Structure 1
């Protein structure tokens, strides 16, 4: 099956969606196409890399290395079976719902040509309380973490238009072979994975430094 964009999704901030009724833009709805661009830094930047998509908690979301979020339709279908409910495209708060692409098999740093845009895989999504509240499933964050297939954040290397039905072409794949779930394990406290990720220097400067500090606190 040719890897394609099944759905392009954007969300507006609204109250009562996040934990304790906080505002969130996790409720993403399908649109025909979007413009993507580098949003700049988390603080003081544009937030999302997707024009028309809101980012509420800029401390944890948005910025150049988290400009666009992609999830495989196949992963949504897996969880739909487990939870015995239909999970629509955009349910995980993703901007791009793919089909025929192993998003969680992506190597950090690999580049995708999608429409007229060039995107680069930067790492995993970290589940939060807002995600748990939105899903409404008991123990959701723990269950999602245990599975470890989070989808991938993407940076926008070249701005452009991404539309429903666009082919996803993998142009480059780094030789280090560190896939998104391995980085997720590192960020969740796996010291062996962390050493591997730090040694390969696959994260941006901010997240690399944060992981170094985390490892230092855990190492005798």
Structure 2
């Protein structure tokens, strides 16, 4: 199966969910044009409060459509964009990608920086949902299932239906950590 873009989203405000769009424009070194999180330095409020000069390693947020199937099985109806992602993928195991993976989507190029660290805000969207996307695995380690973050190396327009081509980094691969 070829990986592809299922849907794209943005929000000009720091709202939890993002509105579906026909296309989004990725801007190199900044993020999604028109999105509240677009910028060279951090834009997430908690990170700005800690140190507003930090580089923005969370310029674009991707979630795999398959997560919604897992959540539905647990009794949660979640649609693309509702968890705040910019790009919903289909057929791509995003959580299994190593740090530094490059994703070619249409003309754009994204470098994966790490895992999204879901926060308590997710329970405001649906009570109990945080326990579904932030949990302890069988090995006792914390599992973060709410998607991945990346930076834009080459900008361009991304649309639903665009193919996602994966370019793995050189070995040894480093597992994704929270960013």
TM-score, normalised relative to structure 1:
0.67
What CA distance in whole angstroms lies between the structure 1 residues aligned with 2:47 and 2:124? 16
- For each residue in 1:72-104, what CA deviation from the matched residue of structure 2 results, as whole angstroms up to 9, or x when unmatched? 00012111211x232111121100000000000
Aligned to 2:130: 141
Residue equivalent to 1:26: 16
Higher strand share: 2
Give the ranges of 4+ consecutive aligned residues of structure 1 lying more than 6 Å apart after TM superposition. Answer: none
Q: Which residue in 2 is equivalent to 1:60?
A: 47
Q: Which residue of 1 aligns with 2:95?
A: 104
Structure 2 Cα separation of the partners of residues 64 and 7 of structure 1: 23
Q: Which has the higher contact order (CA 8 A, sep 6+)?
A: 2
The gaps in structure 1 that reach 5 residues or longer are 14-23, 41-48, 185-206, 208-220
Cα deviations by residue, 1:166-208 (Å, 9 ceiling, x for unpaired)? 000012333122232xx24xxxxxxxxxxxxxxxxxxxxxx7x
Cα drift, residue 4 of structure 1: 0.1
CA gap of 1:30–1:171, structure 2 versus 1, over 3 A, is: same
The whole-number CA distance in structure 1 between the counterparts of 2:46 and 2:67 is: 27
CA distance in 2, matches of 1:128, 1:25: 14
Distance 1:171 1:57, change over 3 A: closer
TM-score, structure 2 normalization: 0.81
Give 1:122 shift.
0.2
Using a 3 Å threshold, how does the CA distance of structure 1 residues 63 and 93 change in structure 2: closer, same or farther? farther
Describe the superposition over 1:16-43 as per-residue Cα deviations: whole angstroms up to 9, x where unpaired: xxxxxxxx32211211111111455xxx
Task: Could you tell me which runs of 5 or more consecutive residues in structure 2 were left unpaired when the two chains were aligned.
Answer: 38-42, 49-53, 136-142
Aligned CA RMSD, in angstroms, stands at 2.1
Max radius of gyration: which structure? 1
